Amino acid sequence: MVDETSLDDHLAGLAAEGRRFAVPLAAEQIRVRGDRRRRRKRAARMSGGVLLAAAVAVGGLSLARPGPESAPTAVKPTPSRSAPQFVPPTPSPGDEYASELGYVYNAMVVEDAVQVTVEQLRTERGTAVPTGVVHQVTLSPQTPVEVEQVAGGKAGDVPLGELVDRLRDGPRWVFAVDYDGEGRIQSLREASWLTVSERQQKP
């Protein structure tokens, strides 16, 4: 009986001793893990701040340094290289001609021919709108031109050579330019059915 009591006391003493050492050990591990977490967070914040500062610095330098493609200021505009190029219209199957609508102006006599500028147009609700395509053509003075307003309201056909003075300035007069299957201009027809905005006309 005495031995059992002594054994119980001894075991109880061992358990108490174990708890006394175990509690501080567990608390120390918790403190160490907490310190590690705080150091990791601090390191992450510091590295993130450094990366952000570097990104801002690089971005600021890239913004401050003008790129090679930045548009110059106060420079006279030049024609765009990507402007659409003129392609002669092609007649549809069964049609003799295909027509291009455009202002015809800058007429001048060049040796035995007449040179004119054609500014291509499209129609929107019966109104002429420029497409951005401008080209020059050289025609025979005998090219037939169907006119009305250009001839003072009198409808008829006249050779192009007789209209050089009327078509010298522009843009003003709108014509349908008729092309054959070879891309050659066969005639011009005044597009008197179109409404031309006054701001697009040059007296």
Residue 178, strand partner residues: 99, 187
Question: Which of 165, 167, 171 has its CA nearest to residue 196?
Answer: 171
**How confident is the prediction along the chain (203 residues), in pLDDT tens digits per residue?**
455 556 667 666 666 665 555 445 555 666 666 667 666 666 666 655 544 444 444 444 344 444 444 443 333 333 444 446 888 899 999 999 999 999 999 999 998 999 999 999 998 887 788 999 999 999 999 999 999 888 887 889 999 999 999 999 878 899 999 999 999 999 999 987 776 654 344 44
Q: Write down the pLDDT at residue 78.
A: 39
Question: Concatenated DSSP letters for 82-137?
Answer: TSPPP----PPTT-S-EEEEEEEEEEEEETTEEEEEEEEEEEETTEEEEEEEEEEE
Q: Write down the pLDDT at residue 127.
A: 79
Q: How far apart are CA 159 and CA 146, in angstroms?
A: 9
Which tokens in the block code for residue 51?
A: 């990366």
Which tokens in the block code for residue 103?
A: 């202002």
Question: Which of 117, 109, 98, 72 has its CA nearest to residue 177?
Answer: 98
Q: Write down the pLDDT at residue 144.
A: 96
Q: Write down the pLDDT at residue 33.
A: 67
Q: Write down the pLDDT at residue 162.
A: 95
CB-CB contact of 190 with 149 (8 Å): yes
